[in-house]
Amino acid sequence: MAQSREDIFNDLKDGQLIGPDHHKFQLCGKSVDCPLGQLWQAEDVSTKNPISVSVIMLDPLFLQSKSFLAKFKKQIVRSKTINHSHIADIYGYFIHKGGLLFFAFEPIDGLNLAELISNSVNKSLNIKQIQGLSTQLTAAINGCTRQWHQVFGAIDSHFVFVNKKGGVKLLPLSMHDFFHENQSMPDSVYDYKKYCAPQALSDDKLDATADSYTVACATYRLLGGDEFSIQHSSQQRDEITYSRPGDISDEQWECLQQAMSGESSRRYTSAAEFIKAFFPTLPESTNDQVTSADDVEEIDIPAPERAKLPSTDINFKLGKKTINFSVPTFTIPLFIFLAGIGIGFILGVFSSSGKIDSANQTSAKWQQQADTYQQQLTEQSQQLEESQARANNLEIKLKSIQQQLGKPNQPGPKPLSMFRDELDEGQYGPDMVVIAAGEFIMGDAKGLGDDNEKPAHKVVFKNNFAISRYEITFAQYDFFAQQTGRKFPDDEGWGRDQQPVINVSWRDARAYTQWLSKETKLPYRLPTEAEWEYSARAGTTTNFWWGDESLTGYAQCSDCGGPLAGKQPLSVGSLKANPWGLYDFNGNVDEWVIDCYRDNYVGAREDGRPYTTSSCKNRAIRGGSWFDINRIPRSSSRYRHPPDSKRNTWGFRITLDLTP
């Protein structure tokens, strides 16, 4: 009988392997309860040298909510690209057996803010240490809001970690986003209410003053201020009376009261503004480059229990001296085995001296022990085989990437910057990456391609252009459809939001770019075939940007590996980015381009402009899809389809002309 999700969740233990077949993690030590489930220390054993990580296995209760799952996956995907010294690096989310879901992030070291306060460690902090922690928390929140293009809203103190040297690591998750619209979950998920402004307890729209409130509230608690109740209504939080913490000046007390005012108009306009007012000695660079961990005095806090390898104590006497030491348990079988070989050698000596009988008895005893430990060693070795296979695969990946990327200072075009344009109703256009002018060889130069990919020829771009970092998502297309009264495309039951939009024709894709151009007054359009391939290759010359062979974790196709291979597309940005920071060119969904399809490249333009004709029966489509075999998602692969046709394997991305 198959185990239920709940049983699998409750039976997780030290040493267990979790995750999909192509990417395993090994749990270490004991789990710690957290608002989303179980927090574990673990090792990513899909690499040659296991890498320490932290993982949170979601409680099966949350998997019953489609709304939560959609928001959770969106936050993980959009947070993977954040690179900030005080924000924990997110490595992605993964599926375990039974449909359990977990996510991995950089290993945390130390207590979280909730533990720090509940253990009264905060009472031993001096004002400089509190300044450092509050400033770093502000920097982390600013880093999230810049990436998300929305306010953070409220911290959950269980996801603000403080290491032993005082460095803050914020887990970039907004529990307010997850659960504000669902108030029927366990109380533990509403800890964010202890740190949020009154508006976050109602349906009012939040602005940047909500972040100044949450940072001020964290500072207030670090100073010894009272804890707020998660049962507060918006009105109760608005009317609360604060007790003044000790050891702060009248000016600082006024700052705190202003920052935690129930009226957003009275608060500081940003968390950074509050920090500068409350700690007037802070440098002017607070908003972007704040206090580093090295600038914070070391905080004496207990470290969490860390997983240790099982070990065995060895004691024996050498003369009058007792020798004590510990060795890893897994080495004992090898030790005994080698000792058995040593005994065999000694037997040879004994036989020549007439002591063979005694030696035989000793040998039999040692051999019995050696056999027992050898069996244990064999069983443990079997557990390492899968990791070794993945290590070999990693070496292949590294060689192929090194081959393509070359030396660090290799000349050639690089992506210049990323931006997005603001739309109505607080919405934003797609993330756009500026691609530098340059040249490349377009088409199949490896001999694996079809005739329509030949002859390979040089294309030169004289001007920069921008291309969308991801394929256009359902969330982006649905907003366009809502604004223009168009029919919403079918998502096949695979979800919308950050899934790439599918079931759109070339005319649908072009209509999206025309609407976006009108909204932004900028020349958005579909990319040309040359722009598409130039961006997909990202300076490489091989079949794929990572090398000549298909590798698991780099593309989504029918035989590319992964739990959803050949079943459906993945959320945008789920796989690795190419060297220019662009995602999903190889597989996932085919992408419409602006060109009229031509049978080959004979006489093709060399300036990157599109091929057009007065009567175009078919438009070109590039990249391959989740449904195709792994030969199809090559960078040079190309196909054709009528402009009015649509399938659940077709989507698109967009380009913007940039004025020289």
As a residue count, the chain comes to 660
Count, in order, helices (H) and strands (E) of the chain: 14, 22
Highest mean pLDDT, choosing among 125-139, 350-364, 526-540, 561-575: 526-540
Arithmetic mean of pLDDT, 145-166: 84
Arithmetic mean of pLDDT, 438-466: 93
CATH code for the domain defined by 112-295: 1.10.510.10
- 260-287 per-position pLDDT tens digit: 988 888 999 999 999 999 998 655 444 4
CATH code for the domain defined by 411-660: 3.90.1580.10
Residue 191 pLDDT grade (very low, low, confident, very high; cuts 50, 70, 90): very high
Residue 184 pLDDT grade (very low, low, confident, very high; cuts 50, 70, 90): confident
Q: Which is higher by pLDDT, 327 or 241?
A: 241
Residue 553's pLDDT is what? 86
Residues 168, 103 contacting (CB under 8 angstroms)? no
Tell whether the model's pLDDT for residue 411 goes beyond 90: no
Q: What's CA 613's distance to the chain center, in Å?
A: 44
User: Both tokens of residue 312?
Assistant: 């065995």
Arithmetic mean of pLDDT, 100-125: 86
Residue 312's pLDDT is what? 54
Tell whether the model's pLDDT for residue 540 goes beyond 70: yes
Tell whether the model's pLDDT for residue 616 goes beyond 90: yes
User: Both tokens of residue 445?
Assistant: 């130069």
Residue 164's pLDDT is what? 64
Q: Which is higher by pLDDT, 582 or 162?
A: 582
Arithmetic mean of pLDDT, 65-90: 87
Residue 285's pLDDT is what? 43
Tell whether the model's pLDDT for residue 255 goes beyond 60: yes
Residue 363's pLDDT is what? 62
Hey, where are the domains in the chain?
5-105, 112-295, 311-404, 411-660
Percent of the chain clearing pLDDT 70 (strictly above)? 78
Residue 6 pLDDT grade (very low, low, confident, very high; cuts 50, 70, 90): very high
Residue 338 pLDDT grade (very low, low, confident, very high; cuts 50, 70, 90): low
Tell whether the model's pLDDT for residue 54 goes beyond 60: yes
Residue with tokens 């190309």: 638
Query: What DSSP element (H or E) covers 416?
Result: strand 415-419
If we measure between CA atoms, which residue out of 385, 370, 379 comes closest to residue 332? 370
Arithmetic mean of pLDDT, 441-469: 93
Residue 339's pLDDT is what? 58
User: Both tokens of residue 276?
Assistant: 């500068």
Tell whether the model's pLDDT for residue 660 goes beyond 50: yes
Residue 467 pLDDT grade (very low, low, confident, very high; cuts 50, 70, 90): very high
Percent of the chain clearing pLDDT 90 (strictly above)? 51
If we measure between CA atoms, which residue out of 644, 539, 649 comes closest to residue 590? 649
Arithmetic mean of pLDDT, 478-490: 94
Tell whether the model's pLDDT for residue 292 goes beyond 50: no
- 516-529 per-position pLDDT tens digit: 999 999 999 999 99
Arithmetic mean of pLDDT, 52-72: 92
Reduce the DSSP state of residue 63 to 3 states and report it. helix
How far, in Å, CA of 391 to CA of 459, rounded? 38
Residue 656's pLDDT is what? 94
Tell whether the model's pLDDT for residue 465 goes beyond 90: yes
How far, in Å, CA of 432 to CA of 445, rounded? 29
* 540-544, 569-573, 592-596, 613-617: the lowest-pLDDT one: 613-617
User: Both tokens of residue 269?
Assistant: 């306009």
Residue 51's pLDDT is what? 86
If we measure between CA atoms, which residue out of 656, 545, 525 comes closest to residue 595? 525
Averaged pLDDT of the chain: 82
Arithmetic mean of pLDDT, 183-190: 89
- Partners of 37 in beta bridges: 34, 58
Axis crossing angle, helix 506-520 with helix 474-484, rounded to the nearest 10? 70
- Partners of 25 in beta bridges: 18, 44
* 17-21, 222-226, 296-300, 344-348: the lowest-pLDDT one: 296-300
Tell whether the model's pLDDT for residue 563 goes beyond 80: yes
Residues 153, 257 contacting (CB under 8 angstroms)? no
User: Running DSSP on this structure, what letter comes out for residue 154?
Assistant: -
Residue 353's pLDDT is what? 46
Whole-model pTM over 0.75:
no
Tell whether the model's pLDDT for residue 399 goes beyond 50: no
Tell whether the model's pLDDT for residue 1 goes beyond 70: no
Q: Can 5-105 and 411-660 be said to share one CATH topology?
A: no
How far, in Å, CA of 306 to CA of 327, rounded? 18
- 28-41 per-position pLDDT tens digit: 999 999 999 999 99
Residue 99's pLDDT is what? 86
Q: 5-105 adopts what CATH topology?
A: Phosphorylase Kinase; domain 1 (3.30.200)
Residue 351 pLDDT grade (very low, low, confident, very high; cuts 50, 70, 90): very low
How far, in Å, CA of 53 to CA of 69, rounded? 22
Arithmetic mean of pLDDT, 73-95: 86
